[in-house]
Amino acid sequence: MINLQNVSKVSWIKFSIVALIFVLWVIWIGNFWILLGLPFIFDIYITKIIPWGAWKKTKDGSKPPAWKEWLDALIFALIAVYLINIFFFQNYKIPTSSLEKSLLVGDHLFVSKMSYGPRMPNTPLSFPLVQNTFPIINTKSYFEKPHWEYKRLKGFGKVKRGDIVVFNFPAGDTVAFLRPNPAYFNIVREIGQSLAQRNGITSINSPFEEYLLRLKERSLGAEYVKQNPAEFGEVVGRPVDRRDNYVKRCVALPGDTFEIRYNQLFINGQLFREPDGVQHNYNILTDGTTLNKNFFERLDISDPERYSGLTGPYYSLPLTQAMVEKVKQMPFIEKLEISEEPVDTTRHQVFPYSKYFQWSRDNYGPVVIPQKGETVKLSPQNILLYERIIRNYEGNKLEIRNNQIYINDKPTDNYTFKMDYYFMMGDNRHNSADSRYWGFVPEDHIVGKPILVWLSLDQNKSFPKNIRWNRFFKYAGN
Which residues are marked as active site?
98, 248
Cβ contacts of 75-82, under 8 Å, gap ≥ 24: 78/127, 78/128, 81/128, 81/129, 82/126, 82/128
Using the CB atoms, write b or e for 390-424: b if 16+ within 10 Å.
Answer: bebbbeeebebeeeebebeeeeeeebebbbbbbbb
Helix, strand and coil percent figures for the chain, each rounded to 5: 30, 25, 45
**Element (H or E) spanning 294, and its range?**
helix 293-298
Supply φ then ψ for residue 181, to 5 degrees: -130, 135
C-alpha 102/C-alpha 97 separation (Å) is 10
Which sign does the torsion angle of CA 106, 112, 116, 118 carry?
positive
CA distances from 16 to 19, 45, 267 (A): 5, 9, 51
C-alpha 453/C-alpha 471 separation (Å) is 7
Closest CA to 212 of 435, 398, 394, 436: 398
Q: Angle between the 207-226 and 184-198 helix axes, to the nearest 10 degrees?
A: 100
Alpha-carbon Rg for the chain in angstroms: 27
C-alpha 279/C-alpha 163 separation (Å) is 17
**Element (H or E) spanning 365, and its range?**
strand 364-368
SS3 37: helix
Question: Distance between the two ends of the chain, CA-based, in angstroms?
Answer: 60
C-alpha 299/C-alpha 319 separation (Å) is 9
Q: How far is CA 133 from the centre of its chain?
A: 16
